[in-house]
Amino acid sequence: MARTDIIVLGAGIVGTSIALHLAKRGLAVALVDRGGAGEGTSYGNAGIIEGNSIFPAAFPSDWSQLLRIALKRSPVANYHVTFLPRVAPWLMVFRAASQPARLVETAHLIRPLMARAVSEHEKLAAEAGAERYLRHTGWLKLYRTDHAFAAQARELELAKSFGIANVPLDRDAARALEPSLAPVFRHAVHWAGAVSVSNPLALTRAYAARFAALGGLTFAGDARTLHRARPYWRVDTAAGPLDSENVVIALGPWAPDLLGPLGIKLPLAVKRGYHRHFRAQGNASLGRPVLDAENGYCFAPMEQGIRITTGVELAARDAPPTPVQFGRLMPAARELFPLGEPVEAQPWMGARPCFADSRPVIGRAPGLSGLWLAYGHGHWGLTLGAATGRLVAELMTGATPFCDPAPYAAERFTQ
Ligand SMILES: Cc1cc2nc3c(=O)[nH]c(=O)nc-3n(C[C@H](O)[C@H](O)[C@H](O)COP(=O)(O)OP(=O)(O)OC[C@H]3O[C@@H](n4cnc5c(N)ncnc54)[C@H](O)[C@@H]3O)c2cc1C
């Protein structure tokens, strides 16, 4: 029977960062995934390491926006009608957590992780020889109306109080940064401290390669085979059963498939999202990700082309893709940037693993010794992956954690 110090289940950006941090501390670690590292949700994001973000994505407070979403006319969000009854309790909690005072509270609670987001990725990327994927040019949020820009005032104020660099720009100044953008917007904010990634899959793979170089072992296997084989936990892999006293569950949106049968039912929902790459016309290019705020999509310059990522779709995780938001957003996208032909025949779909309070769960699993949880990073999984890796490794090895892990404990849902 093969035995190891720690098994990490899930080789997304979160699990791979955890495995790498544990291996750096000299532990024998096995990383188990049914596919390749970084091929799940971590494959398809907009590549923004947002360390300077303040407020999480919130339930719309504007009734006209809500009405457009309800009428299925908004590019910002889509939903499957049949899914609404199932997600309604979660949405109610999400709506409550989107009240202004609660957003400020969340901003404070997430800040210790956010504050380390960029620097922790920079360290791992340097060790993994992956610095070439990191772009230190920030990201740009565009506002087409004065109203939408004015609504950011509170966030900009709070950012200032956190000492975060953001630069409000008029249209011309924004176009000086990104000359290929058409002047169809009125305001912009340059969040200068953010870093973006030109190939999120390659970044996770580079971390996985560094993990392997440190002696870490990777196995193909189904995490749902995890069971007690006292005094160990056992998971079946393609190379045979694997035992360990400690297991980290970093399965992103799939974590409930394993945790439910073990009796751990935490209120995770998914916000599905899509991307598709496009060629740029002529010499048009972007030097950083650009958000078209009112339309809820992002242009993310990637090695594969200009990646357009959509906003949110509320639907069952495994329901067939319905990428209707592209139809709604493409006129605005083509107006803003000279897009050419799509690169792929079909959009990619992923599912952001989200708790309604916009905080991940990081720490021990309640009531199950040796089991650790690290999932539910929502819109910020790439951002917080490397910092989560450090925090989990510090907690598991008894080191002083770089921040208080209490706000991320699973017990906030169970007590
Ligand atoms: C359109 C879109 C845009 C986004 N943009 C950003 C962004 O710009 N910045 C940002 O910070 N975040 C962004 N996100 C969110 C971010 O991508 C996710 O939060 C993050 O990838 C989650 O990482 P993870 O490691 O927890 O999960 P995953 O990457 O999904 O990893 C989970 C792993 O578990 C494995 N797995 C699942 N079930 C099993 C099983 N039974 N057995 C074995 N293995 C299993 C999967 O194969 C997968 O590799 C975006 C998400 C989307 C969808």
Can you say whether residue 137 is alpha, beta or left, with left for phi > 0 and alpha for psi between -120 and 50 degrees?
A: alpha
CA of 313 to the centre of ligand 1 (A): 15
- What's residue 51's pLDDT? 80
- What's residue 415's pLDDT? 73
- What's residue 92's pLDDT? 97
pTM value surpassing 0.95:
yes
pLDDT in tens, 212-226: 999 999 999 999 999
Q: Which residue among 76, 237, 251 is best mutated to probe the pocket of ligand 1, counting the most ligand atoms within 8 A of its Cβ?
A: 251
Report the atom number in ligand 1 closest to the C-alpha of 258: 41
- What's residue 52's pLDDT? 83
**241 pairs with which residues across the strands?**
236
- What's residue 414's pLDDT? 86
Contact yes or no for 286/301 (Cβ under 8 A): yes
Report the atom number in ligand 1 closest to the C-alpha of 271: 53
Place of tokens 């104020």: 157
Residues of the chain with pLDDT under 50: none
98 DSSP 8-state letter: T
**Ligand 1, pocket residues at CB < 6 Å:** 10-15, 33-35, 39-42, 44-48, 50, 222-224, 250-254, 257, 273, 275, 309, 350, 352-353, 375, 377-383
* Residue of minimum CA distance from atom 22 in ligand 1: 381
CA separation (Å) from 171 to 5, 7, 62, 103, 308?
55, 50, 25, 28, 21
- What's residue 220's pLDDT? 98
pLDDT in tens, 277-304: 999 999 999 999 999 999 999 999 999 9
Q: What is the DSSP track for 322-353? A: --THHHHHHHHHHHHS-EEEESSSS-EEEEEE
Contact yes or no for 333/297 (Cβ under 8 A): yes
Report the atom number in ligand 1 closest to the C-alpha of 11: 49
pLDDT in tens, 80-104: 999 999 999 999 999 999 999 999 9
- What's residue 53's pLDDT? 83
Residue 110: both structure tokens together:
């997430």
Q: Which residue among 382, 383, 408 is best mutated to probe the pocket of ligand 1, counting the most ligand atoms within 8 A of its Cβ?
A: 382
Q: Is the dihedral of CA 302, 217, 211, 5 positive or negative?
A: positive
Amino acid in position 162: F
- What's residue 165's pLDDT? 80
Task: Please give the span between the terminal C-alpha atoms of the chain, in angstroms, as a whole number.
Answer: 38
